[in-house]
Structure 1
């Protein structure tokens, strides 16, 4: 069964953000757009490049009303140590969630059980807690924050305009499509 348009399950995890520990729950995601970015582990190779890319675009996400959350099965203490020792991860201002029980990774269907780590999974969640986009792929393939921003904008657009759809490579301000019988076979 697809996670698309399903409601996120209740959760409560420790997190590290901007020099402090805090708790993040499913309730924190409600009322705002959110992006959860699962990654395999702290002190690895591709992961810091992805977290840095997200950090470099963090202001753009915030301008769209989107909170970003990095998630791994590492502890919030490991997140703090990584943040303090990696120049790339040191740029991160968004919360790094500690999924020590692996329940969050299981709920989002990205946990590699025998490794105790998550796959690279990206989830765009709307203010009602519905999962609007899902991207999961091999851990050797890094993600691109600019493409994620495009998907967030598209998800926000179709939410605000439920009778329209965004075609391939749609960018904000570009034409959309209005599905109808008249459009069938004309594209």
Structure 2
């Protein structure tokens, strides 16, 4: 069963955010767009490149009213240690969520149980707490924050414009489609 259009399941977790440990839950997500960005582990190789890319683009997500949550099965203490010792991770301003009990990784169906790690899963969640985008990459394939930003803009556009859809490669300001009988076989 797909997670698309399902509500985020209840959870409680601790995140390292701007020098503090903070509690988050499904209620934290309500009323704004969110991205849950699962990655395998702190102190690794592809993960910091992805998280750094998100950090470099974080202001753009914030302008759209989107909060980013980096999530791994590490603890919030490990997130703090990584933040304090890595220049790349040190520039992160979004919450890094600890999931040592695997609740989030199981809820979002990205847990690699035999390894105790999460797949590279990206989930865009609307203000009602429903999942609108799901993407899962193999461990060796890093993600691109600019492409995620484009997809978030498309999801926000579609949510704000019922009856319209965004075609492939759509970018903000470009033409959308209004599905109708007239378009069948014409695209």
Q: In 2, Cα distance between the equivalents of 1:30 and 1:44? A: 32
Equivalence for 2:65: 65
| Residue 131 of structure 2: aligned partner | 131
1:100 positional shift? 1.0
User: 2:21 aligned with 1:12, yes or no?
Assistant: no
Matched residue of 2:22: which SS?
strand
Residue in 1 that maps onto 2:166: 166
- Partners of 1:167 and 1:15 in 2: how far apart? 36
1:56 maps to which residue?
56
The alignment covers a number of residue pairs equal to 187
1:25-78 CA distance string (max 9 Å, x none): 110101000000000000000000001000000000000000000000000000
Runs (5+) with no aligned partner, structure 2:
none
How far is the alpha carbon of 1:137 from its aligned partner?
A: 1.2
1:113, distance to aligned residue in structure 2 (A):
0.5
Structure 1 distance, partners of 2:22, 2:126, is: 22
**Which portions of structure 1, spanning 4 or more consecutive aligned residues, are displaced by more than 6 angstroms?**
none
Deviations 1:130-167 (A, max 9, x none): 00000001010000000000000000000001100000
In 2, Cα distance between equivalents of 1:170 and 1:12: 36
Give the TM-score normalised by the residue count of structure 2. 0.99
1:178 equivalent to 2:178? Answer yes
- Report the CA distance between 1:17 and its aligned residue: 0.6
Summarize deviations over 1:98-123 as a string: whole Å, max 9, x none: 00110100010000000000000000
Measure how far apart 1:176 and its partner are: 0.2
